[in-house]
Amino acid sequence: MTEPHQPPPWPVGTIPRRFAFVAAPNPGARQTLAALTARYGQHDPQEADAIICLGGDGFMLEILHTTLGRAIPVYGINCGSVGFLMNPAIPDDLPTHLAKTQAATLHPLRMQTTTRTGKVIEALALNDVFLFRQTRQAAKIRIEVDGRERLSELICDGVLVSTPAGSTAYNLSAHGPIVPLSANLLPLTPISAFRPRRWRGALLPATARVTFTILEHDKRPVAAVADFTEVRDVISVEIEEDRTLHTILLFDPDQSLSERILAEQFTV
């Protein structure tokens, strides 16, 4: 399995030399930051050849959001608790190593919410957009895809739409399918569905526009979350992939994101 076709993060034969190091606020990441900046120096992200992210997946998501729409690639070194988006070790020769890495181009989901007060709020998600009940009452949600009603009433704790890269995160925990990067599909997965009890979700084309309408929203309030942006008391949520924005993530040779997604399906 290969990554979707894309240009290399830098010209073939070029070894990157200027790095912008960023670190999560934990002791391991800070120690690694000090060691790497002492060896390679520190550059402004606007002038660097690559951003080196030191931390875990959560911190990586924050950094990737800052690079959306920019050509600069991001290479992660795991200094946190979860490292699916990270590389496991510090390379001996960072410039030479990065010249051999594999690039994955990720596109975000764009979430547009309308709240009970009529306020419209937008946010982007590289992992997923999920809706979740705010109280003890189960949520009631109508689902439309490209303007066509597909489910008149889903009674549940919540529901989510995931990117392929995020399909191994909350989506997998909710028993949704893992999706390869090259599949151009978006998982739509219920969270603790009560009715229809046996509905397990759907795989949607990447071009789909999904609309969630909250039924009985006064009695059964619902919050919507795009990665780390939360909007409460929503009455409708629209989600679609934004192909005008992208970010580039680098992985060690033979450890591409597609390979990791494939391997995750055989993890027991």
Same domain, yes or no: 113 and 237: yes
**Residue 256: per-residue pLDDT:** 73
pLDDT at residue 8, as a whole number: 63
Q: From CA 252, how far away is CA 216, in angstroms rounded?
A: 49
Please name every residue paired with 145 in a beta bridge, in sequence order, or none if there are none: 148, 210
**Ligand-binding site membership of 157 (annotated):** yes
Check the annotation: does 78 bind a ligand. Answer: no
The answer to whether 68 is annotated as binding is no
Which amino acid type is present at position 222? V
Give residue 264's pLDDT.
76
Q: What are phi and psi of 258, to 5 degrees?
A: -60, -40
pLDDT value at position 180?
84
- The whole-number pLDDT of residue 262 equals 76
Within this chain, do residues 125 and 205 fall inside the same structural domain, yes or no? yes
Q: Assess whether 49 carries a catalytic annotation.
A: no
Do 114 and 95 reside in the same domain of the chain? Answer: no
Shared-domain flag, residues 76 and 191: no
Is residue 256 part of an annotated ligand binding site? no
Any known ligand binding at 165?
yes
* Predicted local confidence at residue 6, as pLDDT: 52
Residue 10 lies in a domain: no
Q: Does 169 belong to an annotated binding site?
A: yes
Residue 255 lies in a domain: yes
Domain identity same for 75 and 189: no
Q: Is 218 annotated as a binding residue?
A: no
**140 touches 153 (CB < 8 A):** yes
Same domain, 254 and 164: no
List, run by run, the mean pLDDT of 10-residue segments along the chain (268 residues).
Answer: 52 84 94 95 94 94 93 91 83 91 93 97 97 97 97 97 92 91 92 92 96 97 96 98 94 80 74
Q: How many domains does the chain have?
A: 2
Q: Which among 57, 12, 52 is positioned nearest to 33, based on CA atoms?
A: 52
How confident is the model over 180-234, as pLDDT tens digits? 888 889 999 999 999 998 899 999 999 999 999 999 999 999 999 999 899 999 9
57 belongs to an annotated ligand binding site: yes
User: Could you tell me the CA-to-CA distances from 224 to 48, 111, 166, 258 in Å, in that order?
Assistant: 35, 9, 16, 28
- 50 annotated as ligand-binding: no
**DSSP string for residues in 189-201:** EEES--BSTT---
The catalytically annotated residue of 57, 233, 242, 252 is 57
Judge if 131 and 235 occupy the same domain: yes
Residue 140 CB partners (closer than 8 Å, separation 6+): 153, 154, 155, 214, 215, 216, 220
How far apart are alpha carbons 231 and 252 in whole angstroms? 36
Residue 201 one-letter amino acid:
G
Say which CATH number the domain at 194 has: 2.60.200.30
5 assigned to some structural domain: no
Is 52 contained in some domain? Answer: yes
Range of the structural domain that residue 176 is part of: 109-241
Residue 229 lies in a domain: yes
